[in-house]
């Protein structure tokens, strides 16, 4: 990797001429030390000068210390050297020019741009591909301190690899199958439930009203989950917030994958002012015209402050963020179905199996690696009993791309020690109306994951006595469970398994419309 940097420090006052020798010496020693600490490469401070309150330095390096890292270190040393003695302080630095040249594994399919980058130039030399990255001189100092330069270089490679292999390398490996089960219908479950007045579309895209009839079935599923999973495994119910501000999605890394093919949130905005006068004009307009002045309204609201709950568990972590968990409180085992989650499902209108407003069930556990592995497997086995025995569904389990990798921007970032046990298993149900078992797409109805250290690390959670912390979680939804169930068993209760019927006292009669 080749670097060339021209940087300018701003000083609190001019440096006296007698300081020159000292600075020269400081740079010399710094260069020598850098050279000594590496057996290859070349690091050079090629030029420096002061003029008034400015100190200009030019650094070039080949396969050696990156100049911006050198600048951060030099800043400290310079402050110490000139601060006390000459009463001159360092105010900060700005890049005049920063160029990074590095070899690429592959050449890009097409050119692209990146934020905080002034120019990207791809070229070839002796059959190898290179990129010349010119950093935007306006880049903020604190971004440089916090690793933005390194991430720019990494992002170039990530984007090229994405151009070659697509956004995600989905994997899917079936690990268990219930075997064929008798199905009682081959109709589309959404249409069946609509015709029976169990569910009704609203005016809003992929949102449904769940009638008392179908709500009774969702309630039955809740009792089943409690009796078969939560009660025997000692899980407690809690209520996780459903409005998620950016601080959460930054730590969970969802923000980085925004609308990149796995994370499609609904945004939440705030009024710029809550003063009645501020909205009076809008209120008057609506009163007179009975329409909403959308553009005017848009001017009166903020940029999104975050969005509506998407993956359900991330906002849980704000609870224990930055804390040290007592050993006796581990493992933590909770579940949440306190409110809907939201996904902007792009494309056309979908059925009940793919909704924008989703009633999800989140199962979440935190503990030592052993505890998390053990709980994860126990939850998986209990879920299998629910799907296979209680609901009598034709289902299979598949090892799939973990949900957090799908939803964040990254392809793969598990360390290899975690690799064997960390991952996601999906439960998928056969949907007879879609066609043959072999060719049709099965419906994903539940996932269960062992996530490893990602969330405790991301939210800086520790455990007493430095126990390593892992987490795991699982998600399912009433909409998906019921779509799968009706798709195989139909609407007629006579065809439903007894173990399920036991949980339904009386199914409310659907309301009829004339």
Supply the residues annotated as catalytic: 313, 343, 345, 354, 362, 426, 444, 447, 473, 480
- Of all residues in the shown chain, the one whose CB is closest to ligand SER is 475
Answer yes or no whether residue 23 interacts with Zn ion by CB under 5 A: no
Place of tokens 């360092």: 90
Binding mask 342-381 for ligand SER (x = CB under 6 A): --------------------x-------------------
Q: What is the C-alpha separation between 475 and 296, in angstroms, rounded?
A: 39
Binding mask 472-511 for Zn ion (x = CB under 5 A): -x--------------------------------------
For residue 462, give the H/E element and its range: strand 462-463
Q: How many CB atoms lie within 10 A of CB 330?
A: 18
Helix (H, G, I), strand (E, B) or coil at 442: coil
For residue 332, give the H/E element and its range: strand 332-336
User: Please, are residues 58 and 45 in contact by the beta-carbon 8 Å criterion?
Assistant: yes
Burial of residue 163 (CB within 10 Å: 0-12, 13-18, 19+) is middle
Q: Nearest approach, Cβ of 174 to ligand SER (angstroms)?
A: 19
Q: What share of the chain is helix, strand, coil (3-state, %, to 5)?
A: 35, 25, 35
User: Please, are residues 441 and 434 in contact by the beta-carbon 8 Å criterion?
Assistant: yes
In the chain, count H helices and then E strands: 16, 23
Among 214, 220, 255, 313, binds Zn ion (CB under 5 A): 313
Answer yes or no whether residue 447 interacts with ligand SER by CB under 6 A: yes
Find the part of the chain contacting Zn ion (CB under 5 A) among 166-174, 270-278, 404-412, 468-476. Answer: 468-476
Find the part of the chain contacting ligand SER (CB under 6 A) among 78-86, 142-150, 261-269, 468-476. Answer: 468-476
Footprint of ligand SER on 383-422 (CB under 6 A): 403
Query: Which of 313/491 has CB closer to Zn ion?
Result: 313
Q: Nearest approach, Cβ of 475 to ligand SER (angstroms)?
A: 2
Q: Nearest approach, Cβ of 350 to ligand SER (angstroms)?
A: 18
Binding mask 287-316 for ligand SER (x = CB under 6 A): ------------------------xxx---
Q: What is the C-alpha separation between 312 and 342, in angstroms, rounded?
A: 9
For residue 160, give the H/E element and its range: helix 148-165
Query: Which of 263/485 has CB closer to ligand SER?
Result: 263
C-alpha pair distances (Å), 160 with each of 12, 136, 154, 181, 259:
43, 20, 10, 45, 18
Find the part of the chain contacting ligand SER (CB under 6 A) among 177-185, 269-277, 412-420, 469-477. Answer: 469-477
Query: Dihedral, CA atoms, 346, 351, 352, 356, nearest 10 degrees?
Result: 10
474 binds, among Zn ion, ligand SER, none (CB under 5 to 8 A by kind): ligand SER
Using CB under 6 A, list all residues that contact ligand SER: 311-313, 362, 403, 447, 473-475
Using CB under 5 A, list all residues that contact Zn ion: 313, 473
């Amino acid at each position: 990797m080749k670097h060339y940097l021209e940087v300018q420090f701003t000083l609190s006052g001019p440096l006296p001429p007698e300081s020159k020798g000292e600075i020269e010496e400081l740079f010399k020693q710094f260069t020598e030390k850098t050279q000594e600490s590496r057996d290859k490469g070349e690091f050079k401070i090629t030029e420096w000068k002061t003029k008034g309150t400015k100190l200009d330095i030019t650094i070039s390096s080949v396969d050696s210390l990156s100049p911006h890292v050198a600048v951060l270190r030099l800043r400290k040393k310079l402050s110490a050297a000139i601060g006390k003695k000459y009463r001159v302080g360092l105010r900060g630095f700005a890049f005049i020019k920063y160029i990074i040249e590095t070899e690429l594994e592959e050449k890009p399919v097409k050119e692209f741009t990146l934020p905080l980058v002034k120019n990207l130039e791809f070229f070839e030399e002796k059959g190898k591909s290179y990129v010349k990255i010119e950093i935007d001189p306006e880049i903020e100092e604190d971004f440089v301190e916090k690793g933005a330069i390194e991430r720019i270089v990494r992002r170039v490679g990530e984007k090229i690899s994405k151009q070659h292999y697509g956004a995600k390398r989905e994997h899917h490996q079936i690990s268990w199958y219930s075997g064929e089960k008798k199905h009682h219908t081959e109709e589309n479950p959404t249409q069946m439930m609509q015709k029976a007045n169990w569910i009704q579309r609203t005016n809003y895209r992929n949102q449904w009203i769940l009638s008392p009839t179908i709500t009774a079935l969702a309630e039955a599923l809740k009792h089943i989950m409690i009796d078969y999973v939560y009660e025997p495994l000692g899980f407690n119910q809690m209520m996780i917030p459903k409005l998620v501000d950016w601080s959460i999605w930054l730590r969970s890394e969802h923000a980085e994958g925004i609308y990149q093919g796995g994370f499609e949130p609904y945004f939440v905005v705030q009024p710029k002012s809550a003063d009645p006068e501020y909205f009076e004009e809008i209120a008057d307009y609506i009163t007179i015209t009975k329409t909403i002045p959308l553009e005017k309204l848009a001017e009166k609201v903020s940029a999104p402050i975050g969005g509506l709950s998407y993956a359900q568990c991330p906002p849980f972590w704000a609870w224990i963020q930055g804390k040290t968990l007592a050993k006796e409180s581990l493992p933590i085992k909770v579940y949440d179905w306190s409110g809907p989650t939201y996904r902007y499902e792009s494309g056309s209108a979908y059925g009940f199996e793919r909704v924008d407003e989703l009633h999800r069930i989140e199962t979440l556990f935190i503990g030592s690696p052993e505890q998390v592995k053990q709980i994860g497997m126990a939850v998986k086995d209990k879920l299998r009993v629910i799907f296979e025995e209680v609901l009598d569904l034709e289902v299979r389990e598949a090892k799939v791309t973990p949900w957090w990798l799908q939803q964040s921007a990254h392809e793969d970032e598990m360390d290899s020690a975690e690799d064997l046990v960390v991952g996601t298993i999906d439960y998928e149900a056969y949907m007879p109306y879609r066609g043959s078992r072999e060719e049709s797409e099965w419906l994903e109805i539940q996932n269960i994951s062992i996530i490893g250290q990602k969330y405790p690390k991301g939210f800086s959670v520790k455990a007493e006595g430095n126990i390593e912390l892992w987490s795991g979680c699982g998600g399912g939804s009433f909409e998906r469970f019921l779509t799968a169930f009706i798709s195989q068993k139909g609407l007629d209760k006579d065809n439903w398994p007894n173990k399920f019927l036991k949980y339904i006292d009386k199914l409310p009669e659907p309301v009829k419309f004339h």
